[in-house]
Structure 1
Amino acid sequence: MTDEAATRHFRTLFISDIHLGAKAAQADMLIDFLRFHDAEKIYLVGDIVDGWRLKRSWNWPQSHNDVVQKLLRKARKGATVIYVPGNHDEFLRDFTGRHFGGVEVKLNDVHVTADGRRFLVMHGDEFDVVVRNARVIAYLGDWAYDAAIAINLVFNKIRRRLGFPYWSFSSWAKLKVKNAVNFIGAFESALAEEAHKMGCDGVICGHIHHAQLAEYSNIAYVNTGDWVESCTAVAERHDGSFELIRWSEVVRARARAKSAQPRIVSEQPIVRPTEAA
């Protein structure tokens, strides 16, 4: 089966927190995802480029450039691509309203689904008190997250050698620390409230690297997750319903299925040296 034949087509794709420029960005995984998924409209919901890390040290391998080219190619083929900057690529907020290679930069947007619902699309850092009011603490938190990711990489190398699947230490820690859990809940509730104030039926965001489809007081909350750990995206089907795609799980399932396939054993007779002589 060709890639084109296997491609899933959606009305809209929502992707955020790729963090191109960061060593932990799983660009190859995203390229694989984009090969098999297409849409009429693509929202890049912030932190696509990691300006914070690029300021500290330049890191831009070919795979990161390939992600950019892949997205631009989709725009050239007719997809509407809207870039809503986040806090790590906040420098792009100065270019609101501009177009770059078919990609339009917007501070936020209101997306109308196929079934007529209105969704506020924003990165979400505007509702992160630490990012907005204590930039130094935010940078320290960013450094701590880098450290957790580094530990995660080493930990999973050992797990692979022992035959165990990928497991995210940093995601596990995030969901086990009480303050982090409380923050996630407060963040989700605050964004849902903002969508309600804007007269919308829901909100679509990123920022906290925690993919979620939920509801708060009849307001839909959609978080696209990230492409550092979980490798997730949200898709709007042609009927207006949403689907959370966990691509890392799809890739792992694909690898398991491939390894489970029976090996083809050659039926050619084995000729020993003495017989050949």
Structure 2
Amino acid sequence: MFLSDVHLGTPDSQAAMLVEFLREHRAETIYLVGDIIDCWRMKRKGFYWPQAHNDVVQKLLRQARKGTRIIYIPGNHDEMLRHYQGIHFGGIEVRERAIHETADGKRLLIVHGDEFDMVVLNHRWLAHLGDMAYGCAMWANKWHNRMRQLLRLPYWSFSRWAKSKVKRAVSFMSDFEAVLAEEARKEGADGVVCGHIHHAANEMHDGVRYINTGDWVESCTAAVEHPDGRIEIIDWSKKIAERMRRPKAVAQAGSIAPAHRNEAA
């Protein structure tokens, strides 16, 4: 299982949804692919840590105690953990990057991806400014979804929709994917698993598999490897939306069924 960009410590984190996801999914190995804890936001806004955020940590620690191997690859928002490479915290191992071999023998480079983001590398102040703007967008997204909840509508991410529509954002994501795929090729890997840009993907780039786990702020996605080595992106928000629609569909089917039986009779 590959998870990234949970951003615990911020009001934007969909921690409760991640807890539900972890209740229903087990793995031999879990890779935490960066930005699990948002130290940037906590440093700027102050400490924020509700029960749901604590539940995520407890769930992961419990799985580690039960034998699940957990590898933490820090990102830019939790970069302080990069000073603790090779250290184990409650059964969770911290690494700068890792190589994962799938069940069908493919080698995947695991990195967060911020080290290939030119804004983060060369214009750190601009990255922080962008993070503040992103926080404003997430504030608007939160209130929008509260209204949807009142209307009994499923979660919907405005920012994810905007990313797919704005040409400049699409171009940035395409360049990012190409650079990460090239890094995997340099490492002699068959593919790369990363996070950072909050855009889930599972596709080929010139013969190299590019997998982005997405995030647990906007889209609530994770990448998982099946026993045969196949990699799948699970969109948990879509799964929840399908479950919300199912009772209505069942009720409608139940009201139609008697008429069909009468016609058959």
TM-score (normalizing by structure 1): 0.88
Q: Is residue 29 from structure 1 mapped to residue 9 from structure 2 by the alignment? A: no
1:114: which partner in 2?
103
- Give the CA deviation at 1:101: 0.4
| Cα distance in 1, alignment partners of residues 81 and 246 from structure 2 | 42
2:49: which partner in 1?
60
Choose which of 54, 77, 86 in structure 2 pairs with 1:88.
Answer: 77
2:8: which partner in 1?
20
1:221: which partner in 2?
210
- Give the CA deviation at 1:18: 0.4
Q: Is residue 136 from structure 1 mapped to residue 125 from structure 2 by the alignment? A: yes
**Secondary structure of 1:38's match?**
coil
1:81-128 deviation digits (Å, cap 9, x = unpaired) = 000000000000000000000000000000011111111000000110
Q: Which has the larger radius of gyration?
A: 1
Letter in 1 for 2:175: A
Choose which of 209, 215, 220 in structure 1 pairs with 2:198.
Answer: 209
Give me the CA root mean square deviation.
1.5
| Cα distance in 1, alignment partners of residues 201 and 191 from structure 2 | 13
Kept in 1, the 8 Å contact 2:155–2:237? The answer is no
Bigger fraction of residues in helix: 2
| Cα distance in 2, alignment partners of residues 35 and 163 from structure 1 | 24
Choose which of 176, 180, 191 in structure 2 pairs with 1:191.
Answer: 180
1:16-73 deviation digits (Å, cap 9, x = unpaired) = 0000001000110000000000010000000000000110111001110110010000
TM-score (normalizing by structure 2): 0.92
2:93: which partner in 1?
104
Letter in 1 for 2:101: V
| Cα distance in 2, alignment partners of residues 192 and 59 from structure 1 | 36
Q: Tell me whether 42-51 or 163-172 shows the greater mean CA deviation.
A: 163-172
- Give the CA deviation at 1:77: 0.3
Count of matched residue positions in the alignment of Structure 1 and Structure 2: 252
- Give the CA deviation at 1:152: 1.0
Structure 2 residue ranges without an equivalent (≥5): 255-265
State the identity %.
58
Q: Is residue 151 from structure 1 mapped to residue 140 from structure 2 by the alignment? A: yes
1:243-268 deviation digits (Å, cap 9, x = unpaired) = 1100111111112223444499xxxx
1:113-163 deviation digits (Å, cap 9, x = unpaired) = 111111100000011000111111001100111111111122223334445
Structure 1 residue ranges without an equivalent (≥5): 1-12, 265-277
**Secondary structure of 2:27's match?**
strand
